[in-house]
Chains A and B, each alone.
Chain A
Amino acid sequence: MLPVMAGELDDRDLMGRYRDGDVGAFEALYTRHKGPLYRYYLRQGLAEAIAAELFQEVWTNIIKARDRYRPTASFSTYMYRIAHNCLIDHFRRCGRSVEVFDEGIIQVQELPGDDADGPQARAMSLESHERFRAALEALPDEQREAFVLREETGLGLADIASVTNVSAETAKSRLRYAIRKLRTMLADE
């Protein structure tokens, strides 16, 4: 098999080559997606160790399931669906509520008002990017996930809906609320 030129092949081709035993194709695929996926977890407010653990879990699943991979959707959609499921499983293990991730329950968790000890207040006191990071962490999980997916992968609303297993309208609502809250939190800058 010819050596892989990462820039020449799309994700599905690379995955197909790896399925056929080309480790180089996997390396190209990994190099292409490792940063966004790693940050997807980091931006969820997880500790680095947890983010790394979930990150590795996603890739292990991809490696193990390579024979079953069917290029019916984009590789990004495929990979982030796995990533989303790993994240939900992690939240469940931690006892964190995941109801808001479910379709039909669009609970907009309003940020605390003028609570001086709340995340919003803390965000206001930090430097610019740290304030933004804090504002992001202050978002409800499902809104934050939608926003990070959009930022890290450039996925459209339909793909975000597919990854998070909700309708396109729900995905749009989550993203809309996320933007509004971020703007509100950073309005004073």
Chain B
Amino acid sequence: MNQANDDKALEVYLDGGSAESRRYAELGDELPPPELDARILAEAEREVKVTRLDSRRAPPFKAFAWAAIVVLSFSLVLNIVFQQAVQDPVAELEGMARRADAPVPSSAPAESKMSEIVVEARKTDSADAIAPMAAEERLRESPGRVAAQEFRAMEQTEAGGVGSTDAPASRQLLAKQATGLAAAPEPAADLDDFAIANLARDRKLDRPDAIRVIEDYLGYPEDDETAVPERRELLQEGDSAVELQRVLELFETGREDDALAALAEFRSQYPDHPVSAELQERGL
């Protein structure tokens, strides 16, 4: 049988219906024994059950993992938000200072001074004394007035005995602020008024450190108060205002005798000074 015959026989076979195929089919259709069928089908079912069991175990674990991720993420976000909220208020003050000063070109020098104030405040850790919301309100005013109000607030704190140990430091700080802000034309007038008014009070309360700081700022040599006449005039005006305010406070607190005595002293010092309408109503 040559190659061509073999190929032809193969073709016939592959086409089907060959004697070889017929003879093969006569061998029978043996099947695996039933017990073998049962064994294999049981194995197939067992494997599926194991897989289902695994998949049933998996979801709670997955759910737990997802829950943990969500909780941790939420905590992280909360932590970040909280840290931002309780961040150093000085930083917020810094931002507000920029916003408040930005639209006014003439306040550019004051802006730089405000930044210095913020830096100083950060150094002295006085940030907690500056509430951000109040600071924003203050920054809407002129920088000089803000510094003056800061100074007055500290003065009141010291007078009340709170933080008195820090008094010299705070005075120096605010004196620095005042000195810096004096470079700006408008705020300087506010600071002068403020400084003069406080100088009179410090003299009455006998606060040499405070007096020296303010006098340094005002340019008053301690041994020559008349060196700058216009300053002296301002000082007197400040003194009279303080005296009148003191008289009024004594009246309001029920110390009429002291008030009358103070008023008499005031009149002796400032005989031509007009008194306020309120004091006039009290018959003074």
B-binding residues in A (CB < 8 A): 18, 21, 23, 26-27, 30, 34-35, 38-39, 42-43, 52, 55-56, 59-60, 63-64, 66, 128-129, 132-133, 136, 147, 150-151, 157, 172, 175-177, 179-180, 182-184, 186
Contact = CB atoms under 8 A, between A and B. Distances in A.
Given A38-B30, A52-B33, A23 B6 contact: no
Contacts of A157: 14
B48 A23 contact: yes
- A-B complex: 7 closest residue pairs judged by Cβ atoms: A132-B23, A38-B32, A129-B26, A26-B44, A176-B10, A59-B40, A151-B24
Residue of B6, B24, B36 most packed against chain A (CB within 10 A) = B24
B23 A128 contact: yes
A21 B32 contact: no
Interface of B: 1, 6-7, 9-10, 13-14, 18-21, 23-33, 36-37, 39-41, 43-45, 47-48, 51-52
Contacts of A180: 1, 6, 9
A184 B9 CA distance: 12
A21 B33 contact: no
A150 B45 CA distance: 31
Contacts of B36: 52, 55-56
B55 to A, nearest CB: 9
Q: A-side binding surface: helix, strand, loop or mixed?
A: helix
A78 to B, nearest CB: 16
Contacts of A35: 29-32
Nearest to A135: B23
Contact of A18 (B10, B27, B44): B44
Given A39-B29, A63-B43, A180-B1, 17 more contacts: A18-B44, A21-B52, A23-B48, A34-B37, A38-B32, A52-B33, A56-B36, A63-B40, A129-B28, A132-B27, A136-B27, A151-B24, A151-B25, A175-B10, A177-B6, A180-B9, A183-B20
A21 B56 CA distance: 13
A39 B30 CA distance: 6
Contacts of A64: 47
A176 B7 contact: yes
Nearest to B35: A52
B20 A30 contact: no
Contact of B45 (A23, A129, A132): A23
A158 to B, nearest CB: 12
A186 B23 contact: yes
Contacts of B24: 132, 136, 147, 151
Nearest to B9: A179
A133 B32 contact: no
Contact of A60 (B6, B9, B20, B43): B43
A64 B40 CA distance: 12
A129 B28 CA distance: 9
Nearest to A60: B43
Contacts of A42: 30
A39 B44 CA distance: 21
B44 A63 contact: yes
A64 B43 CA distance: 10
A61 to B, nearest CB: 11
A73 B7 CA distance: 28
Contact of A30 (B27, B41, B48): B41
A42 B36 CA distance: 15
A132 B18 CA distance: 14
B6 A132 contact: no
B32 A52 contact: yes
